[in-house]
């Protein structure tokens, strides 16, 4: 690649020539993506020869200086133009709220994760008795169609989890059952932390949730329940009531390593490019999702994405190294503490004493949903599960599936004791999602 600046001024209107020798067959149409922290563009080529791409104007001095030092990132979409469109065609139906979308999500998870989706015998709804549900019992939810179904499918693929959303049960002093949830959708599509009566929550899932939710109740082990400080749990939940869903640190529970958390064709460069695009299309949304979290890792405040990338270079870091810095539970963002659905529950568990005596050495903001349901906190004696648990199913799961056409799977469920600095350095590559001990 060769770079030539032909501008008469230093940075105001230059032309950059990028020469790429296309090494592929003349029959192949190759798609290239070109990115700086300030822009993303693309072009495609048929012939195996040198090509020239022109940036006719810099986005000010900052981009000019950045390209002088670092150049332009170039990504070859190895599948070519047609293959890229095919990949987009494969992903698009995941988000459609149709039967086609549901089948697409199921096939994607079967093909990329080895999920089974075995049919359950009817009825697919359990007649739940709230008398058998206790404070701290965990709810795992898997949605397989529509906007959230598609999002959860991709989340499952990159993290290795077999559920995409979570909630937790709480009983008040009068014995009334409530569901506390980070990601409860209210008017205008806003997702907040809410505490709603069980009957209201359960009725919504049965009659109004069009994502075809599959729901499992994971009861706490009696010994763990005895440790659960219900008063502290309520205090924590009420302190978070009405706060927004924890978008700030959502991706950082997934990325723990330089290269072993990205299923192909993803890598840190692709993540950076997606951030760059999003930063231009929806800068406020980008700031909410990752800019504040990246500033936390750098010890800076208020830097936007281009400034963050310049600061990374100044410090001698790489972007992929920055992404692996563990999230800290005590970080306060512009809208308060940031907790995703599962982090909200684990923070409650932490407040309720379930991680004692090592709570200070565990950052639950680094946990995925899989990391949560593999914790050794739940009932391990099927004879103590409620009588209605898995009622009518010939396969007796170690937890209680209470809704869904397909049998839910939670590999490695209830197998891992908490340990200091848990889940801060764990790989998560499909299809086996193998992890070393004590990562």
- The tally of domains found in the chain comes to 3
- The answer to the question of residue 70 being in a domain is yes
pLDDT band at 284 (very low <50, low <70, confident <90, very high): low
pLDDT at 14 over 90: no
Between residues 87 and 297, which one has the greater pLDDT?
Answer: 297
Q: Residues 237, 155: one domain?
A: yes
pLDDT in tens, 246-262: 888 888 899 999 989 98
User: For 117, how many CA atoms within 13 A lie in the half-sphere containing its CB?
Assistant: 16
- The answer to the question of residue 279 being in a domain is yes
For residue 406, say if its preceding peptide bond is cis, omega within 30 degrees of 0: no
- The answer to the question of residue 167 being in a domain is yes
Last residue within a domain, chosen from 324, 357, 383: 324
pLDDT in tens, 113-151: 999 999 999 999 999 999 999 999 999 999 999 988 988
Q: Residues 62, 194: one domain?
A: no
CATH number of the domain residue 342 falls in: 3.90.1720
Q: Residues 234, 370: one domain?
A: yes
By percentage, how much of the chain surpasses pLDDT 70? 83
Mean per-residue pLDDT, 348-373: 97
Q: Residues 178, 49: one domain?
A: no
- The answer to the question of residue 92 being in a domain is no
Mean per-residue pLDDT, 266-282: 71
pLDDT at 12 over 70: no
- The answer to the question of residue 390 being in a domain is yes
Backbone dihedral angles phi then psi of residue 155, each to the nearest 5 degrees: -60, -45
Query: What is the span of the domain harbouring residue 376?
Result: 114-248+335-403
- The answer to the question of residue 133 being in a domain is yes
Q: Residues 239, 370: one domain?
A: yes
What pTM was computed for the model? 0.84
Mean per-residue pLDDT, 68-73: 73
Q: Residues 142, 58: one domain?
A: no
Could you give the CA distance from residue 354 to residue 358 in angstroms, rounded to a whole number?
9
- Between the alpha carbon of residue 111 and those of residues 7, 107, 141, 431, the distances in Å are 50, 6, 21, 9
Residue among 329, 361, 355 nearest 417 (CA): 355
Of 139-153, 168-182, 183-197, 217-231, the least confident = 183-197
- What does 300-362 look like in DSSP terms, one character per residue? -SS--HHHHHHHHHHHT--HHHHHHSPP-TT--BTTB----HHHHHHHHHHHTTTTTTSGGG-
Could you give the CA distance from residue 240 to residue 154 in angstroms, rounded to a whole number?
28
Would you state the pLDDT for residue 48? 58
Q: Residues 11, 150: one domain?
A: no
pLDDT in tens, 199-239: 999 999 999 999 999 999 999 999 999 999 999 999 999 99
Of 15-24, 38-47, 147-156, 330-339, the least confident = 15-24
Q: Residues 148, 296: one domain?
A: no
Could you give the CA distance from residue 212 to residue 297 in angstroms, rounded to a whole number?
38
pLDDT band at 304 (very low <50, low <70, confident <90, very high): confident
pLDDT at 383 over 90: yes
pLDDT in tens, 87-107: 555 667 888 888 988 999 999
Q: Residues 177, 319: one domain?
A: no
pLDDT band at 46 (very low <50, low <70, confident <90, very high): low
Would you state the pLDDT for residue 47? 59
- The answer to the question of residue 13 being in a domain is yes
- The answer to the question of residue 94 being in a domain is no
**Strand segments (E) across 48-176:** 50-55, 73-77, 138-142, 165-171
């Amino acid at each position: 690649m060769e770079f030539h600046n032909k501008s008469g001024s230093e940075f105001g209107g230059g032309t950059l020539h990028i020469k790429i020798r296309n090494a592929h067959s003349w029959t192949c149409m190759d798609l290239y993506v070109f990115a700086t922290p300030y822009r993303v563009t693309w072009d495609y080529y048929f012939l195996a020869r040198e090509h020239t791409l022109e940036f006719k104007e810099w986005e000010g001095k900052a981009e000019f200086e950045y390209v002088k030092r670092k150049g332009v990132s170039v990504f070859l979409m190895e599948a070519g133009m047609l293959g890229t469109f095919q990949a987009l065609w494969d992903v698009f139906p995941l988000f459609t709220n149709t039967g086609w979308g549901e089948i697409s999500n199921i096939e994607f998870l079967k093909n990329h994760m080895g999920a089974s989706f075995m049919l359950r015998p009817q009825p697919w709804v359990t007649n739940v008795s709230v008398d058998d549900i206790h404070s701290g019992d965990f709810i795992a939810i898997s949605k397989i169609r529509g906007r959230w179904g598609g999002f959860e499918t991709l989340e499952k693929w990159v993290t290795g989890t077999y559920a995409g959303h979570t909630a937790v049960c709480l009983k008040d002093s009068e014995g009334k059952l409530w569901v506390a949830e980070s990601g409860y959708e209210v008017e205008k599509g806003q997702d907040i932390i809410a505490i709603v009566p069980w009957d209201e929550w359960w009725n919504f899932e049965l009659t109004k949730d069009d994502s075809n939710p599959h729901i499992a109740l994971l009861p706490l082990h009696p010994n763990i329940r005895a440790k659960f400080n219900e008063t502290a749990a309520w205090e924590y939940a009420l302190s978070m009531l009405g706060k927004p869903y924890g978008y700030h640190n959502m991706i950082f529970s997934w990325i723990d390593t330089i290269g072993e958390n990205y299923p192909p064709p993803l890598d840190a460069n692709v993540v950076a490019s997606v951030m760059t695009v999003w930063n231009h299309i929806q800068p406020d949304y980008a700031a909410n999702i990752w800019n504040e979290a990246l500033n936390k890792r750098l010890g800076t405040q208020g830097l936007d994405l281009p400034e963050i990338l310049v600061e990374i270079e100044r410090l001698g870091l790489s972007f992929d190294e920055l992404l692996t810095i563990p999230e800290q539970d005590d970080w306060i963002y512009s809208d308060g503490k940031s907790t995703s659905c599962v982090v909200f529950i684990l923070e409650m568990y932490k407040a309720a004493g379930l991680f004692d005596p090592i709570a200070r050495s565990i950052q639950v903001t680094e946990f995925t949903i899989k990391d949560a349901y593999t914790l050794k906190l739940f009932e391990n004696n099927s004879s103590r599960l409620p009588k209605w648990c898995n009622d009518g199913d010939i396969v007796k799961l170690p937890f209680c599936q209470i809704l869904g056409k397909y049998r839910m799977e939670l590999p490695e469920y209830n197998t891992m004791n908490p340990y200091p600095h848990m889940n801060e350095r764990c790989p998560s590559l499909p299809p086996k999602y193998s992890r070393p001990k004590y990562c």
